[in-house]
Amino acid sequence: MFILVINCGSSSAKYDLFDVDGKSSDLCRGIVERIGEDSATLTHEIMGEEKVHRKVSCRDHHQAIEIIRDALIDEKKSVLRDTSEVKGVGHRVVHGGEEFSESTLINENVLKSIEKFSELAPLHNPPSLEGIKSCMKIFQGVPQAAVFDTAFHHSMSKHVFCYGIPYEYYEKYGIRRYGFHGTSHRYVANKTAEILKKPIEKLKTITVHLGNGCSIAAVSGAKSIDTSMGFTPLEGLLMGTRSGDIDPAVVTFLMQRERVTDEQVNDILNKKSGLLGVSGVSNDMRDILGAIKKGNTRAKLAYDIFVYRIKKYIGAYAAVLGRVDAVVFTAGIGENLPRIKDDLQKELRPLLGENTRFLIVKTNEELLIAKDTYELVSRLID
């Protein structure tokens, strides 16, 4: 059964077409980038063939989905004969608020909820919503599913997700910790159980997602019990351009002393901090490593903060879990820089003991979105 996975960002639309029967492999994938600009492009890759990259005219997400459809049924290089071969479309949606603890088929009410949670994820939910609405028109009659980044962390207890601020702000605005990257943490935790040949219900795992965005989760019995990202994806670990944890007093101090607006502080903490802000070199770990080799001390400081904070969180989550069967690294940095895993394994040995496994597992959020969508669609057919 063909399932299409769509991931819309503010100026991009990623896609991945899976054949979910059998070994669940993807047939082709690609991305429309710089939506709304004259320089918009499509990169389309049929597995096992060379990538095609070309300029496209694309003013909005609706047109991006049309471009994706045309790429899938292109006469010369067709993967599909017709759009009707797609039996389900799975959408990555960042924020599902308190409402969604799992993936769901999309109906009018779900659309309204995604819209409602746009207030909490103003950069992420609106483009997802546009992508969903366009797919409903372009792949008419095909069931659409939403897979939320927040859903996996829905299992966190109230004392874990509540901040120590007046309770009325939680009730009034939903200010609480939600956690993100849930699809990646869930995929990696399940894959770890497969690798260790143990039922996930019996495992206690710390999953460490280190990409441009970074987060860490304490997973017990297939449930997330704590995670480092909070109300927004800004909290927690040091990231490419995000500060992670800081004393909130820094915000008002900067506003007063630097005479910056709320939006500018937001920009500083989200786009100018992290590896980039500390090093002054780059948000990309490869550049940081290159600069360290040349003796750049600020790049070294950025790297040291990055690793120290991961260590601190692992220690905290070991306390929360009581026992740790595996610490698992994933995403761009986690998968490609085994040094972080190896160093932490050595340093944390006295704390965690000999039985904790340290692993690298390649994440595959798209595959999990495809599988969830397949399950939801199959229930309709049964």
Residue 329, helix vs strand vs coil: strand
Residues whose CB is less than 8 angstroms from the CB of residue 82 and which lie 6 or more positions away in sequence, other chains included: 73
Dist CA 224 CA 184 (whole Å): 12
Q: Which is nearer to ligand AMP, 90 or 240 (CB)?
A: 240
Cα 191 to chain centroid distance, Å, stands at: 17
| Alpha-helical segments (H) within 25-107 | 61-72
Q: Which is nearer to ligand AMP, 338 or 353 (CB)?
A: 338
Q: Provide the minimum distance between the beta carbon of 151 and ligand AMP in the complex, in angstroms, as a whole number.
A: 20
Dist CA 250 CA 238 (whole Å): 16
Contact 88, 375 (CB under 8 A): no
Q: Which is nearer to ligand AMP, 116 or 272 (CB)?
A: 272
CA gyration radius for the chain?
A: 21
Q: Which residue is nearest to ligand AMP (CB)?
A: 332
Q: Which of 26, 149, 226, 325 is catalytic?
A: 149
Q: Which is nearer to ligand AMP, 65 or 369 (CB)?
A: 369
Q: Provide the minimum distance between the beta carbon of 273 and ligand AMP in the complex, in angstroms, as a whole number.
A: 14
Residues whose CB is less than 8 angstroms from the CB of residue 338 and which lie 6 or more positions away in sequence, other chains included: 360
Closest C-alpha to 351, from 382, 379, 316: 316
Q: Provide the minimum distance between the beta carbon of 285 and ligand AMP in the complex, in angstroms, as a whole number.
A: 4
The CA-atom distances, in angstroms, between 207 and each of 189, 203, 204, 279 are: 7, 12, 10, 26
Q: Provide the minimum distance between the beta carbon of 288 and ligand AMP in the complex, in angstroms, as a whole number.
A: 8
Binding site for ligand AMP (CB under 6 A): 211-212, 240, 284-286, 331-333, 336-337
149 is catalytic: yes
Q: Provide the minimum distance between the beta carbon of 135 and ligand AMP in the complex, in angstroms, as a whole number.
A: 24
Contact 279, 301 (CB under 8 A): yes
- Which runs of E-coded beta strand occur in 213-256? 214-220, 223-227
Q: Which is nearer to ligand AMP, 62 or 209 (CB)?
A: 209
Q: Which residues are catalytic?
A: 149
